[in-house]
Structure 1
């Protein structure tokens, strides 16, 4: 090998020598003649020096002073960036002002948000950078700062020549730059991002049909209103079954282009950042985070902090009064304005929903800390898109929803403003929910159209819920579990506490209360948990010197609060804990759902009467029937989640008890018993032919099969099987896959013991069950699921195929024994068919 390398080296040296010789010969040859340069040829223009300030901002300039002084000179908008603003961080929020119809986007909704910073560039230039918070260090005077800076370069999104300096003597006080081309162009930070463009099928930006409409500047913010036009690509006809991403905007189909009006708010982030409040899993707040590198730490830590408004006393004297237990007013209250586009008859109810939170803030030591106000329509200094104002925006949309976002300082979590989205058709959703869940006990719910008082109260509840989100609160799906099921029927308890301890739960209305109970308080309201959560997030600790001191105080508060189950938080992101569910009530899903079904049985026969309207068809009836069956499906889902359930209770090291506990076997068995009785035993009451004959030519065979199929698929899902196998291996007393399949088999095949005829509904169900057992036995060798710890588990390498095979053999034997005693013709055919299917599945593969 050494010899070969030596020869190769010689060859390379020879080739190099030849090349060098050729180069020398080339140099000795005739040199090319020099190119003549004409005396008239233009030299590259030297960079223009900034002009005197009064030559750029002359007497015809129209000036607005504010965060950024803006000068309109002709058709140009010149921004005067003060020297004090250089290096400061500015939040930019871009919202739609007007949108094309039909795209599911609405004026007032957020398009983009980003932090930017101006800084000095080279050669009389000002740079604009986009700031992203990913890593940071508190040790700014130590070497590690350099490492952080080297790993977090911020992109330059604008480079502007300084047209003039504003000076005070020799000191530069401001830099005049032309930023017109930044805002009348398609700069992503101030326009649609690529994902929005893809979904809306937007293509090329049309410069000739885009412009700045107006710019207004105020002390802490500057508002830029723009018009932007884009070409669109209409949806192409496709034979592919895969759904296409995108939405056709009707205007784009008609004209080939679409036009948006947008408003960009540039608002200065607080010069003195708010003290962060460390995030705590035991209390449900939205959070922000970034990695922190410290000089003395052994590893990077993630700084996670709660998102909340800044509430501070007006003075030291007020702080002392609050410390003594007096209520005080904050320096700056939280104010939400109500969109003037909101129908007048609903405005007062929305305002009440906002004001309902005052009681919770009083619990934290504040009075008049939050309020709703009507928008002053005749004030030219105010704009609905202005980032200084929080607004509940009303959208003319067929969407049945509302949402409560916020814009916060990414450095600290301080909420700066919020624009709540309110879609008109949420009233239709509220009517359906309330009628289906409460019409058995509330006569006011028994109408196709609710009176204004009832609808207003429903609107008030939703407004309060969405405002809760804008205060930083997440959904507390575990709040309803704190109320014992029987207390849901106690009118005195309901009057005082309501059916859930948090309005942030998805616990809608009390569907458990029975007509004979006399319960009239059926709405959620600001509850015990909400008051506690506001106290945790908004208490002012005068004597706490830093975040660590606050954290210690809050930890003791939280441990004390955990003594009261009504103050617990249950995350909305846990798919395994049956205590944390949407749309459920009470501490026992089986008991609550049983009461709920009793009420559905009372409601169903009356749907025709409650939905009819002279001259109209049965569209409303069809919608209500679907809502009723949807409610029944929810009950099945609530119960199913108990099987393979694992309780997760957030705790810290200084608290007693385990974080994780297996749902008791008795509860899991009770859940399967409920499903056998309420679903797998055909729910014939759902097949009300008086109703069905008016909305569908079907008799409900496939509808029932669909609900049963969905529940069986969920019960026998691979991840649930893995949890059952895992937990039963720890303790044989825990519920197991074998016990689940046994209990299901007994409930689904009762006819094998009684020899009763098997009707079409049961035949369908039994085929589904056998099919799913066969699938579980013959699971693909590459099939895998994710377990509780997000570890991939290959199902073919677990006990699942073995248990499934065993149950198929036992079931086949039972059917063979039952066949001679089965007299019903179709039942006999059915059992013979199932035996054949199992035989075929059990045959060895050659």
Structure 2
């Protein structure tokens, strides 16, 4: 019985266990079955659940949906992989951020992007055109894999449109995050202001607007910062950013190959598909796309309107009394464009009122704007954004800073006041101020049209022509408005009918025609080359059509703020005029205003004007002319200034810069603007030119002249002539006054620098500028020449220290001690 009972219990337990296992399996199966909806829950939502009935939709290039606090882009699949230009600008800015050249409208980044689908994500990729190859060539694959594009952001696909033609992504987090590539704060500014992080509680999307070809996003950002530029107690930086994204043309504009003989801003790329036995660097000019409405009439030589003219809007904040001059400055370029075959190619308009166009915004990339900035900065700039594939300029903003007119008033008084009675006032006539502004705006528009500075344009005219009224009225003061030639400082008192303010010149017409004229039948950049070259050769040898880079470091004919083809003669006239102005400065300023503020400001700027005139002559020393040409034109590109002109320049510097210019040390001015420091004001300016003469760069060019096999002004001659002039009292037994003692010590400081410093380690350069000459100073003649000159000077001073007054003797003994300090090893 016990056995039977045990068997019954065991069987019962088995059944129970089996039942439990079946139940567990069933439960697990049931749980697995009920967990499937979780997968569905995590999967992509239907369109209606993402873009709900609460959505506010803005139609455009992408549909933009706002659903409560979320923003969605609905991207047509046919726009994936399309090139788009993304421009980041500051829309509103706190006081002092970034210094004087940051303002509402400042561009902080420009990049080409495209949207790319990868599995269930949309990637925002940053695209470069630095390296390219024809897509039909095998090497294009190598270019692709060796230039992997960075991913700016990865978005989950939120849903697909009902017709499956569009993908929808949530862009809220992206535009509310501190994405460095589209930020208004660079790494430098973050360090400067000790920015900790973006405060998300005080940052938000201001607006998102979609248009047929572009999308505009405004973001309000507040950063926590220990040392903000203003409102320090808040420990915050708030600014508004504008992000513009515009679809680039499906078919890029036909590029035009750059030629260094005509000045243009450029874009460059390496073509790995070229037939050359290397990656072929191709450089294209930057220009607007101007196409004639009537190509047949254009080909016949008739003036034709462009399909799409260049339109500039005036900032709504522009003062009413200045609008006329700004518009004139913009439309002054209509004449050069007529030379290129286009009429009404560039137009100025007032910005529409909110009633006329409530969506108009100066930051909108569809509009080019002359922005008027309430800033104490004294300048104006003409930046633009362009398509890197072709150089096509898409949009530009001219920036005019409010206080810039003050600079022009002051320069007008100082540089033309001797010969121009209407400039002898603090209240420059409105018409003349307007004319100055007009020309500045035209100059900046020139930059926005693709033209860099042409610093050779002011060297095109003979110095004496500036005293000829008929000549200046017709030709102005430079052959191009793109030179830094602002005023005629050469004309003398009594000269009649003189034009003192710059204007458009023949080079501007020539360069506009060269860059913008459509060449019928030329369907590639290479097909245009022969015609473009012939236009240059037609003008070769005529100084009015020469382009000179902003390389004032070495080229006497391409200097900033200079006019005339002879720096010695021009600066002599300029200083003569400045002496007249200095004598009358109090009567034109403080005597009229009954305070000394303007006198102090103008005196300081007068020292700067004098320094510029001196600097133009300094460039002659070690000067090298640069005349870009092709081998078929014959001759050399680089030519050293002749020896006699350089020696004449050195003597001029001793007579006009290093011999104390006592007319600049006027007690009636100095003792009314400062309690002390009179000698130091002058020493600082003189030191600038001593240091400039005694630079490794200049001495290196003088040494290099020995290798040319022509007559040259040697480094030894230059150093010897400089030393003899600076210390001429030591050979004549005269006492040395305070100004000359300061000058001589400045010379010694600089010679010590040459003896001990290693020289420049890299060649600073940027487009339009020539870098420094970099060479091995230790193996060059520099140290030996400097050491030899200092030893010669020590011997002279040892002989001269007796028979002079106490100050001079102490000064000489100090100079000897300084030299001995460098020669301790002896």
Residues 489, 519 of structure 1: 8 Å contact kept = no
Structure 2 counterpart of 1:32: none
- Would the alpha carbon gap of residues 201 and 610 (structure 1) be closer, same or farther in structure 2, given more than 3 Å must change? farther
Matches for 1:303-322 after TM superposition, within 5 Å = 303-314=282-293, 318-322=294-298
1:262 Cα deviation from its structure 2 partner: 2.1
Aligned to 1:423: 401
CA deviations over 1:86-131 (Å, ceiling 9, x no partner): 11111122222222223243222223322221122203x3322122
Contact 1:183–1:190, Cα closer than 8 Å, also in 2: no
SS in 1 for 2:573: helix
Q: Would the aligned equivalents of 1:286 and 1:474 in 2 still touch at CA under 8 Å?
A: yes
Residue pair 1:113, 1:189 contacting (<8 A) in 2 also: no
Give 2:15's aligned residue: none
**1:23 corresponding residue in structure 2:** none
Distance 1:569 1:263 in 2: 37
* 2:124 aligned partner: 128
How far 1:801 sits from its partner (Å)? 3.3
Q: Is the alpha carbon distance of 1:207 and 1:749 closer, same or farther for their aligned partners in structure 2, counting shifts above 3 Å?
A: closer
| Partner residue, 1:98 | 92
Cα shift readout 1:159-217 (whole Å, capped 9, x = no counterpart): 3333333355xxx3222222222222223343335424334443311222222222222
Q: Is the 8 A contact 1:446 1:610 kept in 2?
A: yes
Shift of residue 813 of structure 1?
4.7
Structure 2 regions of 5+ residues with no counterpart? 1-23, 764-769
CA contact (8 A) 2:127 2:149 kept: yes
**Shift in CA distance, 519/796, structure 1 to aligned 2, threshold 3 Å:** farther
Find the aligned partners of 2:430 and 2:801 in 1 and give their Cα distance.
62
Contact kept in structure 2, 1:502 and 1:526, CA below 8 Å: yes
Residues 834 and 69 of structure 1: CA distance in aligned 2, closer, same or farther (over 3 Å): closer
Q: Distance in 2 between matches of 1:59 and 1:833?
A: 88
Corresponding residue for residue 190 of structure 2:
197
Correspondence for 1:27? none
**The residue matched to 2:113 in structure 1 has which SS?**
strand
Cα gap change, 1:75 to 1:837, in 2 (>3 Å): closer
Which residue in the other structure is 1:273 paired with? 252
Closer/same/farther in 2, CA of residues 770 and 94 from structure 1, 3 Å limit: closer
Q: What residue in structure 2 maps to residue 210 of structure 1?
A: 203
Match of 1:351 in 2: 327
State the alpha-carbon separation in 1 of the partners of residues 83 and 771 from structure 2.
39
Q: Which residue of 2 aligns with 1:118?
A: 115
1:64 corresponds to which of 49, 58, 71: 58
Which residue in 2 is equivalent to 1:332? 308
Structure 1 unaligned regions, length at least 5: 1-35, 235-247
* Other-structure match for 1:156: 151
Paired residues of 1:774 and 1:841 also in contact (CA < 8 A): no
Report 1:658-669 matches (<5 A): 658-669=636-647
- 8 Å CA contact retained: 1:130, 1:154: yes
Distance 1:659 1:825, change over 3 A: same
Change in CA separation of 1:636 and 1:73 when aligned onto 2, cut-off 3 Å: same
Between the two proteins, the alignment pairs up a number of residues equal to 785
- The residue that corresponds to 1:13 in the other structure is none
Name the SS for the 2:507 alignment partner.
Answer: helix
Separation in 1, partners of 2:751, 2:174: 62
RMSD: 2.6
Mapped partners of 2:234, 2:787: distance in 1: 62
Q: Residues 201-600 of structure 1: matches in 2 within 5 Å? A: 201-234=194-227, 248-251=228-231, 253-294=232-273, 296-314=275-293, 318-377=294-353, 378=355, 379-573=357-551, 575-600=553-578
Mapped to 1, the partners of 2:635 and 2:597 lie a distance apart of 53
Q: Give the drift of 1:476.
A: 0.9
Is 1:88 the counterpart of 2:64? The answer is no
**1:775-806: CA deviation from partner (whole Å, max 9, x where unpaired):** 54x446x5566689877433333323333344
Following TM superposition, by how much is the alpha carbon of 1:537 offset from its aligned partner in structure 2, in angstroms? 1.1
Deviation at 1:770, TM superposition (A): 4.6
Tell which deviates more after alignment, 733-742 or 445-454: 445-454
User: Offset of 1:651 from its aligned partner?
Assistant: 1.4
Shift of residue 268 of structure 1?
A: 0.6
Q: For the structure 1 residues 813 and 249, does the alpha-carbon distance in structure 2 shift closer, same or farther, using more than 3 Å as the test?
A: closer
Describe the superposition over 1:46-97 as per-residue Cα deviations: whole angstroms up to 9, x where unpaired.
Answer: 6744444445444443222111111222222222111221111111222222
2:160 alignment counterpart: 165
- Name the CA shift for 1:219/1:844 in 2 (closer, same or farther; >3 Å): closer
Q: Return closer, same or farther for 1:258/1:515 CA change in 2, 3 Å cut-off.
A: same
Pairing partner for 1:606 from 576, 584, 599? 584
Decide whether the 8 Å contact of 1:112 with 1:193 is kept in 2.
no
Q: Which residue of 1 aligns with 2:4?
A: none
Task: Indicate the residue corresponding to 2:667 in structure 1.
Answer: 689
> What's the offset of the Cα at 1:616?
5.8
1:638 matches 2:634:
no
Q: TM-score, normalization: structure 2?
A: 0.90
Q: In 1, are the aligned partners of 2:137 and 2:273 still within 8 Å (CA)? A: no
Moved more, 751-760 or 93-102: 751-760
